[in-house]
Amino acid sequence: MIHDWYGPARLVDRRLDRYPEGARRYWLLAVVVASTIILYYEQYVQGAVSPSVLAHFQVSFRWYLTLIVVSNAVGALASLFAGLADRWGRANLVVGGLLVHALLTAVAIPAAPGEWAYGVLVSLSALIEGVVLVATPALVRDFSPQVRRGTAMGLWTLGPVVGSLIVSEVASHTLDHLPAWQDQFHIAGLAGVVMFLVALLWLRELSPALRDQRMVSLRERALIETRARGFEGGGALDHPWRRMARADVLVPAFGVSVFLLIYYAAVGFFVIYFTSVFGYSQARANSLGNWFWAADAIAVVIAGVLSDRLGVRKPIMIVAGVVAVVMTVVFASRATDPSTTYTTFVVIISILSFSRGFAYAPWMAAFTETVERHNPALVATGLAIWGWILRAVVSVSFLVLPVVVTSVTPISNYGPELAAIQAAYPSQVATLRVIDPATLAALRVSPSDRSAGARAVSEIEAGLHAGPGTALSRLLGLRSMPAADRIFLQDHGATVLAARDRAPRQWRTWWWVCAFGQVVFLPTVLLLRGRWRPSSARRDLDEQEAAIDTEMALLAGRGESRTDREGRSSSLPGDEPLPDGTAGVVSR
């Protein structure tokens, strides 16, 4: 029996007792992917307006980094909790998570009265994201046999990528006329509410009897359903963490986590990087991010489909990983060059992002297949370990970042106000920059100090190559500038200029760290399940299909009947005709 597709009961009991076919399976996958996209759109919207958030709450970049570290640590714990999806199921975790996350994004975070309330609410949203990070790829795995796993995981990987792309696209087109950072959260949260309603009505999951089996191809559907009728589970869920704590699970999870350092740097800091180092506006920096995420989105789909067609994933990961290393090094080399054009950055980061995505989608497929090899009933547990390691690595890396990039705090804290003063009083700012700070301090204490005034005129003459009359006029012109602005400029102008001088070199160091993480990733690929040659993969599939035919022939010869868990009599294959191509074999 299939549970009713609609009805009040389906809002809680979302189990399917038959493996979905055709359009229904694609629709379920689409709902999972769309849920992931919208959730990450909400999760990443903070990065698009991070300079405005820092300025609004008057917090330092170090405080902002601490928040990211804490929220990732919370997300790591939530990922471990989500491993319980093997016992409790996946769909209700996703639906409930979508609702809470949408309300946090649309209402709570924009209304935060202070920086600490803001930090707590952002950490709560990270808690929800940590759960969904595990539950959604587990759902994608459940609905995807291994021969189509690359395509399915490529589509799932669109979630974080397209979520980031939507953040950049919406911000680059709305920040100019909706400058308040809260507006970006409102827009994202409303999208989250809509997605929650869609998932509430249509998101489903396989029953434990179905999802706890390994499916290589869709030919196995009928046999898996037959086996599920007498499924008892046994001890498949006993000692989950011990069963999944294997080298081929732990080491690749760490490898891909350091491989993704450049991705998380882009999510959290690209806007800060391009505004502080190259002077881009927030809208222009986000438009540059559009190219990064669009290239990534295209890559994950192509790589997933290609890995399924070839039947191999490791060669794709290695080649794409090497290209990612090369392009990250190229990107780092441009971090110290202020003459690098917008177009140059578009080309570099597009190739970098494309290669990174091209490696990541096959990795997700290979990782879930590796977990299945140990125990298909503990896929969510394996993914929970991956999610925990990923968040832990991100937290540690962001603890290190402020030690490497010390220049961001003064630029983020004082840069926006200094830029506003510069725009309002360009002549006065130019004059103040050539006057010695000691002279300015003397004039601040005693504006009528003739000696200090004479020194100031002399310094203006030398610094601006002006005559005595022009220099005196420029000095007197400072009176039209508000005293508070003059004091702010004198107190912080030199600090910001020095920070901007250091920033490119410091950011280059961090990009080198990201490149090193990508190098570490490459050898960890060797531990994952899968062949290197397409011919070997085809031979394995032929042997698998032969085993399927043998198993189905044995069952058909018995012609047995069984009674399922709800008391209904059902026949094994052999008592009734089977649709073409439904024979299969499965190992639990």
The answer to whether residues 125 and 47 belong to one domain is yes
The answer to whether residues 509 and 556 belong to one domain is no
Decide: 64 and 402 in contact? Cβ < 8 Å.
no
The answer to whether residues 387 and 525 belong to one domain is yes
Q: How many residues does the chain have?
A: 588
The answer to whether residues 310 and 432 belong to one domain is no
- Residue 234: what pLDDT? 54
| Both structure tokens of 478 | 């400072």
The answer to whether residues 475 and 443 belong to one domain is yes
In a domain, 365, yes or no: yes
Specify the number of domains making up the chain. 3
pLDDT by residue (tens digit) across 376-408?
888 888 888 888 898 889 888 888 887 888 777
The CATH number linked to 96 is 1.20.1250.20
The answer to whether residues 357 and 479 belong to one domain is no
| Both structure tokens of 459 | 């310094």
Going 178 to 183 to 184 to 188, the CA torsion angle's sign is negative
In a domain, 246, yes or no: yes
The answer to whether residues 445 and 333 belong to one domain is no
Who's near 119: CB < 8 A, 6+ residues apart? 67, 70
Residue reference for tokens 């925990």: 388
Burial class (CB in 10 A: 0-12, 13-18, 19+), 338: exposed
The answer to whether residues 191 and 326 belong to one domain is yes
Q: Please state, as a whole number, how many other Cβ atoms lie within 10 Å of the Cβ of residue 343.
A: 8
Rounded to two decimals, the pTM is 0.75
Q: Which amino acid is at 507?
A: W
Query: CA angle, corner 148, sides to 135 and 322, nearest 5?
Result: 85
The answer to whether residues 526 and 568 belong to one domain is no
- Residue 441: what pLDDT? 80
Q: Which domain holds residue 464?
A: 416-498
The answer to whether residues 38 and 82 belong to one domain is yes
Q: How does DSSP classify residue 232?
A: -
Torsions phi, psi of 569, nearest 5?
-85, 135
In a domain, 116, yes or no: yes
In a domain, 2, yes or no: no
Closest CA to 287 of 275, 299, 302: 275
Run of H or E residues at 418? helix 408-424
In a domain, 228, yes or no: no
Q: Is 15 helix (H, G, I), strand (E, B) or coil?
A: strand
Paired with 395 in beta bridges are none
- Residue 298: what pLDDT? 92
In a domain, 226, yes or no: no
Mean pLDDT, contiguous 10-residue spans, the chain (588 residues): 50 77 88 92 85 82 82 81 69 90 94 91 89 85 82 86 83 81 91 94 84 73 69 59 84 94 84 80 81 89 91 93 95 84 91 94 91 84 88 86 79 74 82 82 80 86 85 82 80 79 86 94 93 84 75 65 37 35 33
Domain boundary pick from 445, 479, 498: 498
The answer to whether residues 411 and 302 belong to one domain is yes
Q: Please state, as a whole number, how many other Cβ atoms lie within 10 Å of the Cβ of residue 120.
A: 15
In a domain, 402, yes or no: yes
The answer to whether residues 503 and 363 belong to one domain is yes
Query: CA angle, corner 64, sides to 98 and 250, nearest 5?
Result: 65
In a domain, 233, yes or no: no
